[in-house]
Amino acid sequence: MRCPYCGHLEDRVVDSREAQEGQVTRRRRECLGCKGRFTTYERIEEVLPQVVKKDGRREGFDRRKIVEGVATACQKRPVSAEQIEALVAAVERELSELGEREIRTPFIGEAVMRRLRALDEVAYVRFASVYRAFRDVGEFMAELEGLARRGSIGGAVPAKDAAAPASGPGEGGGEPNR
């Protein structure tokens, strides 16, 4: 394994542990060149479906994109790297279990948002605001009010708004499947 600090190719494994319910092996390594320590994760390589983008382009599934998007949404939140890895692993597992050759990006985004909502509501709202590309503050507020109505986030929804139908991101098929 190449050392991320000095580029040396030789290291020794200091510690190995199972992670994510035995789906991953976490290894703590020490570089024999600079003595720096780093962590690697080993997982079975699964054949994942092609991703069909909104514009029709197709590309291979890239877990790194999901990790980066979720990590960005979780910045300065009490969410660990292990929780992010577990979320991404669960999405990958769901995609592979479908057995489909192609999956559209909205399916992947909704799968991420379902899990992120359960993990951290603030991170969910951050991710949803980018993923759903709210057109205005009204759409964003409708999503927040929907969360508050379900009791997912703190704070009460004013009585006059509680009966108002939710509009915005759910129109046109953007709402997650429940």
What is the domain partition of the chain in residue ranges? Answer: 8-43, 45-150
Strand partners, 18: 25
Answer yes or no: are the C-beta atoms of 121 and 147 closer than 8 Å: yes
Strand, helix or coil for residue 26: strand
Confidence of residue 161 (pLDDT cuts 50, 70, 90): very low
Task: Kindly tell me if the per-residue pLDDT of 26 is higher than 90.
Answer: yes
Local structure of residue 77 (DSSP, 8 states): S
Strand partners, 60: 50
Q: Which of 18-22, 36-40, 164-168 has the lowest mean pLDDT?
A: 164-168
pLDDT of residue 114: 93
Q: What angle is formed at CA 169 by the lines to CA 167 and CA 175, rounded to 5 degrees?
A: 100
Answer yes or no: are the C-beta atoms of 16 and 26 closer than 8 Å: yes
pTM of the entire structure? 0.57
